[in-house]
Structure 1
């Protein structure tokens, strides 16, 4: 007779499948020891296949069913349905629609209220423009010597990475160059240089300072007492007394 297993608690994701495996083993009057001898899997692996917490792999399921003289074709259909439900295939159309919706929601500088949101908007603008840090560096290096309108400084990739990963408001020269390059590379982006300037001026006028309280000053120590005058007076008193 097969051993008695622990009951499967409610809410286990694959409880029905596990109970069916246990019923098959009970009907076949098999123990996990005998099943391990008939297959290439251990007793622990076969026991875990029927615990219901996870869906066993198909090779383990097939070995379990074959050891209990079950119909492997029927069990393969049942296992495939559960596997597809647990691991749905990649839906390229849905992913493309989600990307298109996100693209339409590219950052609008007029919505930012804090420096952190401003920097996040700059990072999103670069993502929507489809530019890498190296590409922005090359464009700024080409445009900087010619003094093209709107491009005022060169942007090395190391400087870009450092500034974009901080929550500190960059200079307007940096912001203007960065925004101009992104808009020049990708047409149709929401906002304009004037919108970014308005947002930058708003944040620059009201910086997000963090007030750190100064540590309290240590209590003043009392001035050291000078024992010399007192000692001198005492010595003189004894000298005058000795003379008498």
Structure 2
């Protein structure tokens, strides 16, 4: 069997760079999307982390729990995850930059972006009824 063409390898490596990330949820979603683009199962990710000799394994349940929490994962977890995905130290730098930017904002509570996005949807939905629309207006006017 032959190796994939170099341009295919280059294209898949470019896809390891995160886009502009604006929320904790988006960061976690991009981590999951990276694993999906690389066609790695959670079991394969755990196996890869063991092969790297990491102190922390990445059991499927742990990965799932961390990526589904409403907070930014700790950098040690992110670094181990990215290494298990096969990213080099240089390829992890943009992820570290995005992580540090989000961390500097100081939002360790549920994603404000998701909460803000929900408020206009309530007001725009006539089926939500006046009670819900009024609550969305009151929440925005209190800001």
Question: Could you tell me the TM-score, scaled by structure 1's length?
Answer: 0.36
- Aligned equivalents of 2:42 and 2:97: distance in 1? 25
Pair 1:114-2:17 in alignment = no
Contact map agreement 1:110 1:196 (CA 8 A) in 2: no
Q: What displacement does 1:141 show?
A: 1.9
- Aligned equivalents of 2:102 and 2:82: distance in 1? 17
Give the aligned partner of residue 58 of structure 2. Answer: 155
RMSD of Structure 2 on Structure 1 (CA): 2.7
What are the ranges of 5 or more consecutive residues in structure 2 without an aligned counterpart?
Answer: 1-11, 113-143
- Aligned equivalents of 1:197 and 1:113: distance in 2? 14
Query: Which residue among 40, 43, 53 is the counterpart of 1:134?
Result: 43
Q: What displacement does 1:120 show?
A: 0.7
Question: Could you tell me the TM-score, scaled by structure 2's length?
Answer: 0.58
- What is the number of equivalent residue pairs in this alignment? 98
Bigger Rg over Cα: 1
| Larger proportion of helix | 2
What are the ranges of 5 or more consecutive residues in structure 1 without an aligned counterpart?
Answer: 1-102, 145-150, 212-244
Runs of 4+ in 1 over 6 A off after TM superposition: none
2:86 partner SS: helix
Alignment of 1:178-197 (within 5 A): 178-184=81-87, 192-197=91-96
Give the aligned partner of residue 174 of structure 1. Answer: 77
Distance 1:176 1:104, change over 3 A: closer
Contact map agreement 1:129 1:182 (CA 8 A) in 2: yes
Give the aligned partner of residue 55 of structure 1. Answer: none
